[in-house]
């Protein structure tokens, strides 16, 4: 069914009896052309673009839990394309362009809201760096504006502009950045893939691979063996575990990242604000809750929950930059498992096993990457060649030294 004002009206008149589940619940077939492991944003987007861009519809997405139950439903929903390094800029630029047409493309309301993302600057050196970053973003064709003290103060008067340690000197604003409703993105891609014939199979955990003479033949799952010509891994925080089942040792560590939300408040935050020096960022959801987060918990873990010291650290950073946040009551906090690479940038590449492809290492940035990641991964699986938007997101950069270290923090995953 196509969603429209007319279908809402019609179903209203018919007692809402015409709505159907938005995807089927098929049993796995014994064989597919392509299997995608992981029903998160990236796996679902990949299946969608395999069908939409390449006409490959004999595809299954295998998800160990429920669709969208991983990080795609746990993130703080920030979308932006304000990267600096060649390799990342073109990829995230492509992603933002796809975001801008995503609702029409999927015929699904993903609540894309281009409310602007501002990175605060606290020193002359940081302003210089933001000028360079802004230029790189503009050379890529995206928008970036360097704001001075007064402009930031006018937009966000209640920040602590005279903070003794981190006075606000200005900021780098990307007006086309913003937020989107995370679950809706998973549901929209799922619906689009299902409509094109993709089988979305939930409660189906991949437990091993069938590999013979260096070629993947299929996977073992909690619902039996399923064969395929090609298999794509899109399991985010579980990348190293699933990779190990295929004999791969990936340049990825898993870490916990927490997020927090307050009670609903009247609109106070027009856009997304990041206070990088304090590892704090915040936006306001459409329901009114302040949604904020900070740094990783800093220890390796596969548990989707965090620890109290980081709760304290994030709240301290929030209080430092936005003292009034201390008056808001926090309702919930949660954690997600982050697939952190050694240079902080993702990987979309073939693996040494023929027919087995890898997508992961999304670190903090995977939600905004969702459409482009699916687009590029589908291209790689379908054609065997990297998409022109993702030529540098290669696995072998850790051997050749052509790393994409956006933050310049070195080969330490929990620093990115």
Ligand X SMILES: Cc1cc2nc3c(=O)[nH]c(=O)nc-3n(C[C@H](O)[C@H](O)[C@H](O)COP(=O)(O)OP(=O)(O)OC[C@H]3O[C@@H](n4cnc5c(N)ncnc54)[C@H](O)[C@@H]3O)c2cc1C
Q: Which residues bind ligand X (CB under 6 A)?
A: 37-43, 62-65, 69-72, 74-78, 205-206, 234-238, 242, 257-259, 293, 336, 338, 362, 364-368
SS3 63: coil
Give me the least distance between CB of 331 and ligand X, in Å please: 15
Give me the least distance between CB of 242 and ligand X, in Å please: 5
Angle (CA) 76 77 80, round 5°: 120
Which residue, 42 or 52, has its beta carbon nearer to ligand X?
A: 42
Give me the least distance between CB of 207 and ligand X, in Å please: 7
Which residue, 106 or 127, has its beta carbon nearer to ligand X?
A: 106
DSSP line for 29-50: PSEEEEEEE--SHHHHHHHHHH
CA distance 199 to 58: 8
Which residue, 130 or 209, has its beta carbon nearer to ligand X?
A: 209
Which residue, 169 or 188, has its beta carbon nearer to ligand X?
A: 188
Give me the least distance between CB of 162 and ligand X, in Å please: 28
Which residue, 11 or 28, has its beta carbon nearer to ligand X?
A: 28
> Which H/E stretch holds residue 8?
helix 5-13
Give me the least distance between CB of 402 and ligand X, in Å please: 22
Contact between 137 and 144 (Cβ < 8 Å)? yes
DSSP line for 206-253: EEEEEEETTEEEEEEETTEEEEEEEEEE--GGGHHHHHHHTT---SEE
Q: Which two tokens stand for residue 212?
A: 């013979």
CA distance 263 to 303: 26
Which residue, 51 or 78, has its beta carbon nearer to ligand X?
A: 78
Residue 15 vs residues 1, 2, 7, 22: alpha-carbon distances, Å: 16, 18, 12, 18
350 forms beta bridges with 357
Give me the least distance between CB of 227 and ligand X, in Å please: 16
Which residue, 73 or 134, has its beta carbon nearer to ligand X?
A: 73
Which residue, 169 or 174, has its beta carbon nearer to ligand X?
A: 174
Contact between 351 and 395 (Cβ < 8 Å)? yes
Give me the least distance between CB of 10 and ligand X, in Å please: 34
CA distance 128 to 124: 6
Q: Which two tokens stand for residue 313?
A: 């650290």
Which residue, 36 or 127, has its beta carbon nearer to ligand X?
A: 36
For residue 191, what are the contacts with CB-CB under 8 A and spacing of at least 6? 22, 23, 106, 108
Q: Which two tokens stand for residue 102?
A: 């995503």
209 forms beta bridges with 219
Which residue, 127 or 296, has its beta carbon nearer to ligand X?
A: 296
Give me the least distance between CB of 95 and ligand X, in Å please: 9
Give me the least distance between CB of 43 and ligand X, in Å please: 6
For residue 70, what are the contacts with CB-CB under 8 A and spacing of at least 6? 38, 39, 40, 236, 237, 336, 337
Give me the least distance between CB of 11 and ligand X, in Å please: 30
């Amino acid at each position: 069914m196509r969603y429209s004002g007319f279908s809402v009206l019609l179903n209203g008149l018919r007692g809402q009896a015409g709505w159907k589940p938005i995807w089927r619940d098929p049993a796995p077939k014994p064989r597919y052309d392509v299997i995608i492991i992981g029903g998160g944003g990236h796996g679902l987007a990949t299946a969608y673009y395999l069908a939409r861009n390449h006409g490959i519809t004999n595809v299954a997405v295998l998800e160990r839990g429920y669709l969208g139950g991983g990080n795609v439903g746990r993130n703080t929903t920030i979308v932006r394309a304000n990267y600096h390094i060649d390799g990342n800029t073109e990829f995230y630029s492509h992603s933002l362009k796809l975001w801008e047409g995503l609702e029409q493309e999927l015929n699904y309301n993903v609540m894309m809201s281009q409310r602007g993302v501002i990175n605060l600057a606290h020193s002359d050196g940081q302003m210089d760096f933001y000028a360079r970053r802004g230029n790189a973003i503009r050379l890529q064709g995206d928008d970036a504006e360097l704001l001075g003290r007064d402009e930031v103060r006018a937009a966000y008067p209640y920040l602590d502009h005279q903070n003794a340690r981190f006075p606000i000197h200005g900021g780098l604003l990307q007006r086309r950045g913003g937020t989107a409703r995370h679950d809706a993105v998973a549901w929209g891609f799922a619906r689009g893939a299902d409509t094109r014939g993709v089988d979305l199979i939930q409660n189906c955990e991949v437990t091993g691979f069938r590999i013979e003479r260096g070629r993947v033949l299929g996977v073992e799952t909690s619902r039996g063996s399923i064969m395929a010509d090609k298999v794509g891994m899109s399991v985010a925080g579980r990348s190293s575990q699933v990779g190990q089942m295929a004999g791969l040792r990936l340049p990825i560590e898993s870490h916990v990242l927490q997020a927090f939300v307050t009670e609903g408040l009247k609109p106070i935050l027009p856009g997304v604000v990041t206070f990088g020096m304090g590892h704090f960022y915040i936006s306001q959801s459409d329901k009114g809750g302040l949604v904020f987060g900070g740094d990783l918990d800093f220890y390796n873990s596969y548990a989707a929950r965090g620890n109290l010291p980081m709760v304290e650290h994030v709240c301290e950073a929030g209080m430092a930059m936005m003292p009034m946040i201390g008056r808001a009551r926090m309702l919930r906090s949660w954690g997600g498992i982050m697939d952190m690479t050694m240079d902080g940038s993702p990987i979309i590449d073939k693996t040494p096993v023929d027919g087995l492809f890898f997508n992961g290492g999304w670190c903090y940035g995977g939600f905004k990457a969702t459409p482009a990641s699916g687009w590029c991964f589908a291209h790689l699986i379908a054609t065997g060649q990297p998409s022109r938007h993702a030529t540098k997101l290669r696995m072998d950069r850790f051997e050749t030294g052509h790393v994409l270290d956006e933050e310049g923090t070195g080969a330490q995953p929990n620093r990115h």
